[in-house]
Structure 1
Amino acid sequence: MLAGIRQALPEAVCLVVDDNSPDGTAEMAREFARENGCEQNVWVKVREDERGLGGAIRAAMQVAIDNGFDLFCNLDADLSHDPVDLPRLVETCLSENADVVVGSRYVSGGAIVGWPWRRRVMSGMINGFTRTLLRLPVRDASGSYRCYRVERLAGLDPPRNPSDGYAFIQEVLMRLHREGARCVEVPITFTERRHGTSKLDLPEAVRSGLTVFRLLATR
C-alpha cells in the first residue's frame, strides 16, 4: 500500500495509524520509510489503549489539521482501495472546487469485486438506509475512500459524542453536508481484501444503525 501511494502521489505524506496492533504494522511502516529514504514522507501514529476505525480516521484528520495540510485522503490499508485512484480524487477536489470527494462504488463506472452476496446485501442496505435517513447527497455514503479539504474538517465543531466505529464514516459526511460542504463522487472499483477480516460484521452493523438514529436526532 505504501509503495502504491508513493507511486501515485510522490509528494504526499503517508500517515499510518496503528492501534498498537501486535502484527508489527507500525515497525513495518517505519522500516519501509528507512529502506526507501522517505522518513519525511511516511509518518506513523500509534494509538495506545484505543480501538476503532472511526477513532483512527479522526486521529489522522487531526494530524492533517495540526500540520496545516490542504487535502486529506483516507483509504483502507488492505488494498481494497487501489492507490492508483488517488490522483483522480485529488484532481477532482481541486478542479471542481469540492470539499469532499467520495470514491464511489455505486455511481456509473463504480464496481465491487470479490464480495459474496451476503456482504453486498448488508452493505447496500446500510448504505441506502443511511443515505435516505440522513439525506446525504451521495450514492456511496458508507465508503471510506475519500479526499477532504482540511480547512473544512478544521471548521467542524468537535462532536459531543463522536463515533469510534464504522459509523464515523457517515457521521463526518453528514456534519460536513450540514455545514454546506460541496460533495462530489468519482467511480472506483472496490476489491475484496486479500488478508484479514472486515470491520463490518453484524454487531458493528447494528451499532452503525443505532448511531444513524442518534445522528438523525441531533440534526
Structure 2
Amino acid sequence: MLTKIRAALPNAVCLVVDDDSPDGTAEIARRYAEESGASDSVLVKIRKDERGLGGAIRAAMQTAIDGKYDLFCNMDADLSHDPTDLPRLVSTCLKENADVVVGSRYIEGGAIVGWPWRRKVMSGLINGFTRKMLRLPVRDASGSYRCYRVGCLAGLDPPRNPSDGYAFIQEVLLRLHRDGAKCVEVPITFTERVHGTSKLNFREAIRSSLTVFRLLAAR
C-alpha cells in the first residue's frame, strides 16, 4: 500500500496510524520507511490505550493541522481503496476549489466489488439513512476515501462528544457542511480486502445509527 501511495503521489507524506495493534503493523511500516529511505515521508503514529476508526482519523487530521499541510487524504489501509485514485481526488480538490472530495461508490461510475449481498445491504441502508436524515450533499456519506482541505478541518470547533467509530465519517462531513464547505464527489471502485475482516458489523451499524440521532439533536 505504501509503495502504491508513494508512486501515485510522490510528494505526499504518508502517515500510518496504529492503535498499538499486536499484529506488527507499526513495525512493518517503520521497517519499510527505513529500508526504502523514506523516513521523512513515511511516518508512524501509535495510539496507546485507544481504539476506533474515528479516533484514528481524528489523530491523523490533527497531525495534518499541526504540520500545516494543505491537503489531507484519508483511506483504508487494506487496499480496498485504490491508491491510483489519489491524484484524481487531489486534482479535483484543487481544480474545483472544493473543501472535501469524496471518493464515491454510489454515483455514476462508482462500484463495489467483492462484497456479499448482506454487506451491500447494510452499507446501503446506513448510507441512505444517514444521508437523508442529516441532509448531506453527497451520495456516499459513509465512505472514508476522502481528500480534505486542512484549513477547513482546522476551522472546525472541537466536538463535545466525538465519535470513535465509523460514525465519525458522517460526523465530520456534517460539521463541514454546516460550516458551508464545498463538497464534491468522484467515482471510485471499492474492492473487498483480500486478508483480514472488516470491523463493520451489526453492533457498529447500530452505533452509527444512534450517532445520527445524536447529531440531529445537536442541531
TM-score (norm 1): 1.00
Deviation by residue 1:95-134 (Cα, 9 ceiling, x = unmatched): 0000000000000000000000000000000000000000
**Inter-partner Cα distance in structure 2 for 1:213 and 1:198:** 24
Q: By how many angstroms is 1:196 displaced?
A: 1.0
SS of corresponding position for 2:72: strand
Matches within 5 A, 1:45-56: 45-56=45-56
CA contact 1:166–1:199 (8 Å) conserved in 2? no
Residue 64 of structure 1 contacts residue 72 of structure 1 at CA under 8 Å; is this kept in 2?
yes
Q: What is the aligned partner in structure 2 of residue 124 from structure 1?
A: 124
Amino acid at match of 1:192: E
Task: Name the amino acid aligned to 1:191.
Answer: T
Q: Could you say what the CA RMSD is over the residues aligned between the two structures, in angstroms?
A: 0.4
d(CA) in 1 for partners of 2:83, 2:10 = 12
Instruction: Tell me the amino acid that sits aligned with residue 153 of structure 2.
Output: L
Which string of whole-angstrom CA distances, capped at 9 and with x for unpartnered residues, describes residues 36-61 of structure 1? 10100000000000000000000000
In the TM superposition, what whole-angstrom CA distance separates every residue of 1:147-179 from its partner, at most 9, and x where no partner exists?
000000000000000000000000000000000
Structure 2 residue identity aligned to 1:29: A
Q: Give the aligned partner of residue 145 of structure 1.
A: 145
Equivalent-residue separation in structure 1 for 2:47 and 2:208 (angstroms)? 22
Give the distance between the partners of 1:35 and 1:5, measured in 2 at CA: 16
- Runs of 4+ that moved beyond 2 A: none
The answer on 1:96 being equivalent to 2:76 is: no
Does the Cα contact within 8 Å between 1:57 and 1:74 map onto a contact in 2?
Answer: yes
Q: Quote the Cα distance in structure 2 between the aligned partners of 1:112 and 1:61.
A: 26
**TM-score, normalization by structure 2:** 1.00
In the alignment, what sits opposite 1:160? 160
In structure 2, the partner of 1:110 is: 110
Q: Distance in 1 between matches of 2:31 and 2:53?
A: 24
C-alpha displacement of 1:197: 1.0
Cα offset, 1:35, TM superposition: 0.7
Percentage of matched positions with identical amino acids: 80
- Counterpart in the other structure of 1:43: 43
Distance in 2 separating the partners of 1:115 and 1:103: 18
5+ residue gaps, structure 1, are none
Structure 1 contact 73–147 (Cα < 8 Å) conserved: yes
Letter paired with 2:58: R
Cα distance in 2, alignment partners of residues 192 and 117 from structure 1: 12
Alpha-carbon distance in 1 for matches of 2:149, 2:200:
26
Contact 1:98/1:183 (8 A) holds in 2: yes
Question: In structure 2, what residue type is equivalent to 1:5?
Answer: I
